[in-house]
Chain A
Amino acid sequence: KELQERYNFLSKQKEDIVKSREDIMKAITDINRTTRKMFSETFEAIKQEFDVYFKMLFNGGKADLILEDENDILESGIEIVVRPPGKTLQSIMLLSGGEKAMTAIALIFAIFKVNPSPFCILDEIDAPLDESNVVRFCKVLKEFLKLSQFVIVTHNRMTIQLADILYGITMEEKGVSKIVSVKFNDEFAETLTNQ
């Protein structure tokens, strides 16, 4: 009799586990469905904006994002394919350093457009760009100023001119950083014209 009771108890426990296993599997299916939807919607939006900003930054051309495995978008890799103006369609690995940087910037702007954060810190991302590229970079950046605050670390004169506040950091004493100048936009414009 004791054995029978034990058997009933164990069967009941088994039932519970089977039930909870079903619940977990259902939850996983739900998560998969939600993430797949979120990911594909965001991906499509970024894809469109990427082409827009690529055209702006390169003054033409075409850019696309491709899922390597459309059937498994939750694990699939993402390929970037671009065509700079006057060139053929190619993988980003074949681009020059400056073109690569501009492509990355186009993609970052695209992502930012789709899902903006209230502020953005850019650490010398304009470093590999030549002068005409920096001009276009600044033009695109200006569009985002309404949307977000930007803190930009840069060496580039063009980019500096966008600044509302400018901080100069030096090491007067070896190993100790110091802020040496704070210039606000109007004042700064004045210093530039006076020179």
Chain B
Amino acid sequence: MSNKVIHALYNDDDVLMDAVKATRKAHHHIEEVYTPFPVHGLDKAMGLAPTRIAICAFLYGLTGLSFATWLLNNIMISDWPQDIGGKPSFSYIQNMPAFVPVMFEETVFFAAHLMVITFYMRSKLWPFKKAENPDVRTTDDHFLMEVAVNNNESELTSFLQSTGAVEVKVVEKH
């Protein structure tokens, strides 16, 4: 079976939003939308599930906090509890205020970096990755909606043309 998709290009984000809504209403499956900048509300219009990256970040932060606590307790209290300038190293809680700056920074460090790495992995971004934009104009001033074709090519083409597309083309996808 050939794997055909239709690329509909728009030159305005408001037109794009209306087109996305109309396409969803007509029950055509939107494979992907390419835009040069974030279009506010596009994810909602497309019906994308909300991101869970904030939850990840929270958990990473807890990991960082635990790591810092373990690290400081191990070094400063368990392993070699020296008297450094009279700071009480008998138990963790006694010297806790001195550890808070490190605990805080570790929390932020883990939360931020692991979240960014998660983002890269989930969005499949890395150096030397082959760019995936189907039309170079989508990084500049055009918006592209990719819709799956299921033996309804002519009907879909005319439908997309009616949504205000400046260009509609059928593409063979591998």
A is bound by B: no
Chain B interface (Cβ within 8 Å of chain A)?
A: none
